[in-house]
Amino acid sequence: SEDIFKKIVSHCKEYGFVFQSSEIYDGLSAVYDYGQMGVELKNNIKKYWWDSMVLLNENVVGIDSAIFMHPTIWKASGHVDAFNDPLIDNKDSKKRYRADVLIEEYMAKIDDKINKEVEKAAKRFGDSFDEAMFRQTNPRILENQAKRDEVHTRFAKALNDSNLEELRQIIIDCEIVDPISGTRNWTDVRQFNLMFATEMGSTADGAMKVYLRPETAQGIFVNFLNVQKTGRMKIPFGIAQIGKAFRNEIVARQFIFRMREFEQMEMQFFVRPGEELEWFAKWKETRMKWHKALGYGDNKYRFHDHDKLAHYANSATDIEFEMPFGFKEVEGIHSRTDFDLSSHEQYSGKKLQYFDPELNKSYTPYVIETSIGVDRMFLSTMSAAYCEEELEGGESRVVLKLPAALAPIKLAVLPLIKKDGLPEKAQEIIDNLKFDFKCQYDEKDSIGKRYRRQDAIGTPYCVTVDHQSLEDNTVTIRYRDTMEQERVAIDKLADIIADKVSM
């Protein structure tokens, strides 16, 4: 599956979905550009999210707040003091790692070993995996389980206490080696803040240190009263936002999974204190349904509930998707209590309360947050859609089985040959449909090659214009997934496409 992942990455480049940033200058690490196909797919993902939040929920409205914000906001939110990763260097390779990730990878390796042994045992005794795990008496497995549990307990405690000394000690005790130098020559662990900073204003006036926002949520919190008052919003209600966020990630691997500049789609839902866990459960369910409605396969999702909660949360879960490199977080759902609003009240000295006409009193609302990365959603979409198929006659094709609503191009219009008025007829079809669907004209190479190119970018429909089209106004429509073809009237095309493309 690492193999498939590599293929997806090169497919993204080859067909204009994703390019390395600043490529002609040898690239900028963990920063990416979206190409002509990528931007369409990304916009469609954003629309699918925005419509499900803002269009379909009468009590959710959107905003678009600035990336720069008053620096005190990041003090109040806790990001200046606590938005850190624990880093460790190997003294021989001079490579820098996240201490927590080194330990997590080590535990994952032990898990792998345990699973392999259990699978072997299951095969030997004809048990299911779960039975075999339950009946385990094999000393090798028991020993590994004990080791894993011990490390897990120490690790959770060290994180909870922010005990950097102990994190280092775990790395030493587990004899974790640097994959590059192969040595265990580690420095101390120290905290590294993930926010990018820059300066605003001229230095003569005294420049102000400002941050590039590491999340879009704070723009919503500080506008809570503006929106509530001007929109006459009644609790419960939500504010949604899509926008760029920036984090100086240290472990910047895995393509667009972890980027330094990325995009978030966040929604803060404001509720009565005491009702937050009910709403948390509701949004958890709603968000999972949203993911599953795309049809990537229900078994590709799971919840990962947090045992260790961030300073602001009283309940939290991730929606994980099975990427080619394992189950990974795509979305976080957090019950953030009144932490953010209260903290902004304190730091700004302004009241951020809501007067509840039904209860006849004022309070600071509690917040449920749903936060999803556009780029991670893009990657899960690519991973789910990418297919290599063997065809009859020893041929093969690469096809992106994208949901039609997300496909960059909905319809390709292909004149069978480049003359006899067929290109003009094809252009006429596009001119009639282009206001409703993104269409593409292609006349180069054989029809077979043109179909392959459309398969590779996930176009759900291709129509071929031939001489008969000039006589009876019909075309051959070809369906991407089944490759079936049929003859249809040109004036039926809009209905056929709309049927699958609208969600």
- The residue ranges that bind ligand ATP (CB under 6 A) are 247, 249, 258-259, 262, 264, 329-332, 371-373, 375-376
Alpha-carbon radius of gyration of the chain: 27
3-class DSSP assignment, residue 92:
coil
* Residue 281: partners with Cβ closer than 8 Å, 6 or more residues away: none
Least gap, CB of 331 to ligand ATP (angstroms): 5
Alpha helices in 414-492 (DSSP H): 422-433, 447-457, 467-472
3-class DSSP assignment, residue 496:
helix
Alpha helices in 222-275 (DSSP H): 224-230
Q: Which two tokens stand for residue 22?
A: 């600043």
Least gap, CB of 288 to ligand ATP (angstroms): 14
* Residue closer to ligand ATP (CB basis): 88 or 439: 88
**Helical axes 139-160 vs 99-125, angle rounded to 10°:** 150
* Residue closer to ligand ATP (CB basis): 236 or 332: 332
Least gap, CB of 312 to ligand ATP (angstroms): 11
User: 484 a known binding residue?
Assistant: no
* Residue closer to ligand ATP (CB basis): 330 or 407: 330
- 8 Å CB contact between 100 and 249: no
Q: Which two tokens stand for residue 10?
A: 């090169």
HEC string of 275-334? CHHHHHHHHHHHHHHHHHCCCCCHHHEEEEECCCCCCCCCEEEEEEEEECCEEEEEEEEE
CA nearest neighbour of 365 among 375, 373, 355: 355
User: 263 a known binding residue?
Assistant: yes
* Residue closer to ligand ATP (CB basis): 262 or 354: 262
- 8 Å CB contact between 199 and 103: no
* Residue closer to ligand ATP (CB basis): 220 or 422: 220
User: 329 a known binding residue?
Assistant: yes
* Residue closer to ligand ATP (CB basis): 21 or 348: 21
Least gap, CB of 342 to ligand ATP (angstroms): 20
Burial class (CB in 10 A: 0-12, 13-18, 19+), 13: middle
User: 372 a known binding residue?
Assistant: yes
- 8 Å CB contact between 426 and 376: no
Task: Name residue, tokens 């493309």.
Answer: 501
Least gap, CB of 308 to ligand ATP (angstroms): 11
Q: Which two tokens stand for residue 369?
A: 């947050």
User: 264 a known binding residue?
Assistant: yes
* Residue closer to ligand ATP (CB basis): 186 or 262: 262
Least gap, CB of 262 to ligand ATP (angstroms): 4
* Residue closer to ligand ATP (CB basis): 327 or 363: 327
CA dist., res. 34 & res. 36, Å (int) = 7
User: 215 a known binding residue?
Assistant: yes
User: 221 a known binding residue?
Assistant: no
Which of the 8 DSSP states describes residue 68?
B
Least gap, CB of 46 to ligand ATP (angstroms): 13
Least gap, CB of 374 to ligand ATP (angstroms): 8
- 8 Å CB contact between 437 and 457: no
Alpha helices in 30-183 (DSSP H): 36-50, 72-76, 79-82, 99-125, 129-134, 139-160, 164-173
User: 231 a known binding residue?
Assistant: no
* Residue 349: partners with Cβ closer than 8 Å, 6 or more residues away: none
User: 129 a known binding residue?
Assistant: no
Least gap, CB of 113 to ligand ATP (angstroms): 25
Counted residue by residue, the chain has a size of 503
Least gap, CB of 489 to ligand ATP (angstroms): 44
User: 376 a known binding residue?
Assistant: yes
* Residue closer to ligand ATP (CB basis): 379 or 409: 379
User: 228 a known binding residue?
Assistant: no
CA nearest neighbour of 124 among 146, 141, 110, 148: 141
**Closest chain position to ligand ATP (CB):** 373
CA nearest neighbour of 233 among 352, 64, 355: 355
User: 265 a known binding residue?
Assistant: yes
User: 266 a known binding residue?
Assistant: yes
* Residue closer to ligand ATP (CB basis): 331 or 340: 331
Residue ranges for the known binding site for ATP are 247-249, 257-262, 329-330, 373-376
Q: Which residues are annotated as a binding site for substrate?
A: 98, 215, 262-266, 369-373
Please enumerate, by residue number, every residue annotated as part of a binding site.
Answer: 98, 215, 247-249, 257-266, 329-330, 369-376
